[in-house]
Chain A
């Protein structure tokens, strides 16, 4: 009985110690800090399908690789009317990104939004991408832009993302912006 009580006591102590160290380290952590109160995964902004509206509308317009290449080749990219936004973290962004793409890592957006938001709000077309496949970071960035008054009709999601762009042999840039 004594051993069982001691084991339960140790378990409780380790639980408290692990949680306390975790919260403490997170508080002093720099760029990888998790904001405990932030909802990193907000729900979709479109209403669910109903009897009167059976087909669920997509949250954001989506572009195929060919359409993205067409946007990239447009002269409006140079004038800043068309903007590309890369939603990935520092490492993958610096390894390679679409030339001229602004970085806006969703999970550390407080670092990037001050420099990105003004250009995005004034752009005619904003193409957001992440790694591709099942990555949802670009979708989350689109939702964040919408919450910051960027009109959703100007925001476009490139689902194929970086993987599709790279596989197609399109030009890319490396390093920081």
Chain B
């Protein structure tokens, strides 16, 4: 899934497996931590999810299911990235989540800034609990963090390397296994 127009040095760097390993450890580790923080207090995560007002109020099952399933989805993706099994699927899901939630964060912070300008004179002064698992955060470092995570997820998605991935061990073993001898009749 690498871009065919990638310059040679980029391919050589990718082939070392180091950028992929760093991206997997960084994004996977961070998502595992954020998921764990959400799972510690699911009720609080439910409240914070509700504050975004995205899901239909007349159908509580959608909001409740999101609060129940989303942290575990993050945890499963983090584990897949860290182990290197189903890496591209996990990276695609994480990138999707980041692309969906980061503009929402921006809008929420912008609304707070315009609504209570006295408390938040500049956009970067906006501080709130975004439901990301880290409590109250300043918006600008949070947006920078999400951008870095998105770059990491895209590296994990598009890297052609398979080094340091657990899935690679299984495929190598399968390829190296000798063919079963056909039993011969006496």
Contact = CB atoms under 8 A, between A and B. Distances in A.
A18 B65 contact: no
B89 A38 contact: no
Interface residues of B, number: 31
A7 B1 CA distance: 10
Contacts of A172: none
A115 interface: no
B162 to A, nearest CB: 12
A34 B86 contact: no
A17 B92 contact: no
Nearest to B157: A7
Nearest to A25: B72
A133 to B, nearest CB: 12
B43 A89 contact: yes
Interface string B58-74: 00110111011111111
Contacts of B43: 32, 34, 89, 107-108
30 contacts: A3-B1, A4-B1, A6-B89, A7-B1, A7-B89, A7-B92, A7-B157, A10-B86, A10-B92, A11-B89, A11-B92, A13-B89, A14-B76, A15-B73, A15-B93, A18-B70, A18-B72, A18-B74, A21-B75, A22-B71, A22-B72, A29-B42, A36-B64, A36-B68, A37-B61, A37-B64, A38-B60, A40-B50, A40-B63, A43-B57
Interface of B: 1, 41-43, 46, 50, 57, 60-61, 63-65, 67-77, 80, 86, 88-90, 92-93, 157
Given A14-B90, A18-B75, 11 more contacts: A10-B88, A14-B93, A18-B72, A21-B76, A23-B69, A32-B41, A32-B43, A39-B60, A40-B46, A40-B50, A107-B43
